[in-house]
Structure 1
Amino acid sequence: MIKAIIVDDERFNIRNLQSLLNSQHSEIEVAGTATSPSQARGLILDLKPDVVFLDIQMRGMNGFELLKSLDERSFEVIFVTAYDEYGIMAIKFSALDYLLKPISIIELNKAVDKIKDRISTKKQNLRLENLLYLLDNQDRDENEKIALPTLKETYLIPVKNIVRCESSNNYTTFFLVDGVSHLISKPMYEYEELLSPYGFIRCHQSHLVNKKHIVSILNEDSGYLIMEYTGSKVPISKQKKSIVKSFFKIQ
C-alpha cells in the first residue's frame, strides 16, 4: 500500500482527486488531506507519506514554499495545478510528475505508475544497502549492524541487539535488548531476507524473532516463544509450527 496525502485549498478538488484515486487505484491509501500549507506541514511530519499530491497556487504559501519549509523531504511529490506555466518550475523542483486541472484519468494513471516504479526502486535500494552493509561486516560478528531509517534519523543497530520484530500493515516495530523500540515505515518482509542468515525465525505472519533471545517454548495452543529482555510471549502460527520445531530439532 502506498500512503498518500492530498493538499489543496479547495475542498472540491480534494474530494475529486480522492474519488479518482479510490475508484482507479486501490493500492493508493489517502491517509490525510489538508486545505492549508500549515496543516499540510503537520500532516507530512506526522504521517510520513510516500507521496504528496500538492496544489501549487494556495493562499498564504504556495506549494514550492511549503516544500522549502521542510528540513527533509523523503516523499515523492506530484504537483497539481490549473496553470500550465508552472510545469517547468515543477520539473526543476524535482517533482515526480505534475497534473493539470481538471485532472485527466489517463494522466493520473501515468503519474501513479511513476509513483509505483519509484517506490519499488527505493525499497530495492534499501534492501541492497542493508545487504551490502551486512556482507561487508560479516567477518565481525559483534559489529554487524542493520540500518533502520526514520524520518529524522537512521539508526545503525547491532543485529545481536534485536530481540524481535512485529509487523502492522506496512510498518515494522523493532524491539531491542535495552527496552527501546523503533517503528519503521517499511513492511517486515523487507527485513526478513536480511535477518534470516543471522538466526531470525518467522514464527508467525506478524512476528520475526532472534533465536539468540528465545528463552523457552510454551506449549499452549499452537505454541508461544518466550523472549528474554522484553519478556514477550510471541505466538507460533499453525503454519509455522513445523518450521520452528525443525529449527530447534524438536521431535
Structure 2
Amino acid sequence: MNILIVEDEARIAKRIERMTRDIFGSSLESLNHINTLQEALVFVENNSLDLVLLDLNLNGDDGFNLLTSAVSESFHTIVISAYKDQAITAFEYGVLDFVPKPFNRERLEQAFDRTITKEKSENNQTKVLAIKKRGRIQLIPLEKVCYVKGAGAYTELFLTDGTKELHDKSLEKLEQLLSHSFERIHKSYLVKMSEVKEIHVASGSKYMAELKNGAHIPVGRTKYKDLKAKWL
C-alpha cells in the first residue's frame, strides 16, 4: 500500500501515521505526510497511490479542492475530519469512508478494512463521478450513467445520452462506491438496474441484458439467477 496523509495538525498526523503503520504492517510500502493543500495537489498528480487520508480544513484551505481531484484518480480517498456536517457531501463525491474526529484505532481500522476487503461502503451515497478531461475535472451526475465497463486498470462510463467517458478507477473500486442501484452482472460490467429492459437467453446458454437505450450487455452465468430476481 502506498498511502498519503494530508493533515495540517502535526499531532494528529503523527497519530494517524502510527495507527496506519500498526494496522497495515508489512503490506505498507510507503507512507507520506503533507500539511498543505498545494503540496498535496502536486504530490497526488505525480505519485502512484493506493489511498489518501484527507483532512478537509488545511490551514484554512478547503480540502474539497483536493477531494474533487482525488476522487477522479485510481485510488480511494478516506476523509478524516471534525466537520461531520460535510460527511454527506464527501460521500456524494465518492469517498470510501468518512472518519469523524476524534477517532480511535478501531474506527480507523474499520475504514481501512474497506480498502482491503473491497466491501461496498455502508454509506453508498455517491451522486457524481469525477473524471479528468482535457486537463480539468468534470463531474458527471450518477443519474446520467447507464452502465460501466471495465477496461483494464480503468473503466468506461456509458452515459444515457450515448456518449462514453473514461474513469481512472478500476471496476472493483467503482463497485465499492456506486449505490446499490448498480449491479455487477458480469466480470466486466456494472449496470444500473433501472436501465434494464429485458433479459434474454441466447444460444449456447448465454445470457444478455437488453437496456432501454438498446445496448446489449453480457450477463455472467453465475449472475443470471440473482439478476433476474432483482430485475423482476
Interval containing the TM-score (normalised by the shorter chain): 0.3 to 0.5
TM-score, normalised relative to structure 1? 0.44
Q: Which has the higher contact order (CA 8 A, sep 6+)?
A: 2
TM-score, normalised relative to structure 2? 0.48
Structure number with the higher strand fraction is 2
Larger-Rg structure: 1
